[in-house]
């Protein structure tokens, strides 16, 4: 066995495969048959796609067979389709003039398999519901997904018409834009002029509410007279009451939305010089009298705070005395017991009086010093 040498096996012949079976090469006839079957399958697929497009109402697209031509060959004239030629040189989509709306060849192109589940959303039409972005089509009955439309909007008006109506109503209330009163050059005596500079360009809104003809330039020039005061400022600085401030004839006011929160009540704005005239001349008599009243109220307020502080301090002192007495009692005798004498600190000795029968016929004795009662039974 040791004398035998290992030799390399002879190479396999081309007519055998890995299993030792003979193999046969593809003949030209088989290659031709494979190519014919491939072309048949391709034609069958084109026929199925054409039928599918015909059912959808789209014209069939001509598939070029240039891939089957050899290099240098040209297509036959009848193989060139002229059904999808654009109507104009600028029409890149190639609309079909025979149909309304036209046909776009790109609509017939199918997406790749990886993008068949892709959905394109228009985020301009979506609403952030704090739980996801949803469109109106997802829940047409949801108020949160609908656009903000006022409840008092008439049904026959569109949103754009209603917004224009709201704008015109706001301009009419402010007497601005096309609703600003005109100035006549013929009737100068009827024109209202500014009380400071004589200008005819006055604020007609202020003239209607405050009965004060003043222009915008003078309002900024004299803020000590024509600035606006809130209700809180008029009540605290000029010591006016709520009934006086709510009287429109006594003190006219302008209402504005509350800047702190939309749900709060509207602000009441008063004209400074009108508030000062009423407070100085009609209610308090002068500015010095108002200052005296303000000082008197501040003193009363301070006195009330001091009295309240003293009352709380007295209560604290009482509690401190009781705690100190208890600590002293515990330090001297280890704590008092029931029946101990309060004054001397020693043990109390009862001094009983005579027994007196009560309503039930039981004798009751009473201590002369502390008033303690005990029942006495005789057997």
Q: Collect all residues with Cβ–Cβ distance below 8 Å to 200 and sequence separation of at least 6.
A: 183, 191, 192, 193, 194
Phi then psi for residue 124, to 5 deg, are -70, -20
pLDDT tens track of the chain, all 379 residues? 455 666 666 665 555 555 555 556 788 899 999 999 999 999 999 989 888 888 876 555 444 454 555 555 666 666 665 555 555 555 444 444 444 445 555 555 666 666 666 666 677 777 777 777 777 776 766 666 665 445 567 878 888 888 888 888 888 877 777 777 766 666 666 778 888 888 888 888 888 889 898 998 999 999 999 999 999 999 999 999 999 999 988 999 998 888 888 788 888 999 999 999 999 989 998 989 999 999 999 999 999 999 999 999 888 888 887 777 777 666 555 555 555 555 555 567 788 888 888 877 788 888 888 788 888 777 6
DSSP 30-61: HHHHHHHHHHHHHHHHHHHHHHHHHHTTPPPP
Q: Which helix (H) or strand (E) holds 177?
A: none
Q: Which residues pair with 356 in a beta bridge?
A: 364
How many CB atoms lie under 10 A from the CB of residue 219? 18
Angle at 110 between CA 109 and CA 115, to 5 degrees: 135
- 262 and 224 Cβ atoms separated by less than 8 Å: no
User: By three-state DSSP, how is residue 248 classified?
Assistant: coil
């Amino acid at each position: 066995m040791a004398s035998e040498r290992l030799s390399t096996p002879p190479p396999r012949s081309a007519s055998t495969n890995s299993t030792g079976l003979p193999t046969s090469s593809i003949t030209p006839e088989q290659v031709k048959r494979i190519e014919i079957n491939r072309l048949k399958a391709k034609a069958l697929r084109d026929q199925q796609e054409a039928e599918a497009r015909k059912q959808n109402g789209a014209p069939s697209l001509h598939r070029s067979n240039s891939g089957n031509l050899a290099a240098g060959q040209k297509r036959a004239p009848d193989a060139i389709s002229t059904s999808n030629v654009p109507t104009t040189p600028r029409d890149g989509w190639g609309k079909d003039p025979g149909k309304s709306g036209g046909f776009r060849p790109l609509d017939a192109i199918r997406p790749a398999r990886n993008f068949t589940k892709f959905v394109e959303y228009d985020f301009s039409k979506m609403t952030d519901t704090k739980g996801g972005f949803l469109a109106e089509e997802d829940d047409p009955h949801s108020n949160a997904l609908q656009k903000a439309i006022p409840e008092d909007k008439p049904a026959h008006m569109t949103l754009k018409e209603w917004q224009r109506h709201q704008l015109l109503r706001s301009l009419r209330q402010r007497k601005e834009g096309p609703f600003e009163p005109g100035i006549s050059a013929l009737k100068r005596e009827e024109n209202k002029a500014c009380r400071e500079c004589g200008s005819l360009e006055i604020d007609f809104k202020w003239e209607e509410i405050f009965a004060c003809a003043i222009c915008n330039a003078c309002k900024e020039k004299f803020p000590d007279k024509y600035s606006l005061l809130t209700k809180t400022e008029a009540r605290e600085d000029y010591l006016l009451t709520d009934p006086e401030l709510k009287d429109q004839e006594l003190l006219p006011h302008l209402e504005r939305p509350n800047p702190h929160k939309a749900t709060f009540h509207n602000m009441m704005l008063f004209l400074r010089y009108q508030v000062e005239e009423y407070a100085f001349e009609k209610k308090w008599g002068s500015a010095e009298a108002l200052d005296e009243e303000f000082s008197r109220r501040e003193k009363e307020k301070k006195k009330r705070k001091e009295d309240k502080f003293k009352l709380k301090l007295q209560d604290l002192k009482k509690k401190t005395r009781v705690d100190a007495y208890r600590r002293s009692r515990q330090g001297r005798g280890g704590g008092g017991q029931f029946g101990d004498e309060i004054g001397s600190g020693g043990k109390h000795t009862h001094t009983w009086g005579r027994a007196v029968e009560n309503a039930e016929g039981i004798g009751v004795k009473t201590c002369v010093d502390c008033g303690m009662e005990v029942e006495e039974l005789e057997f």
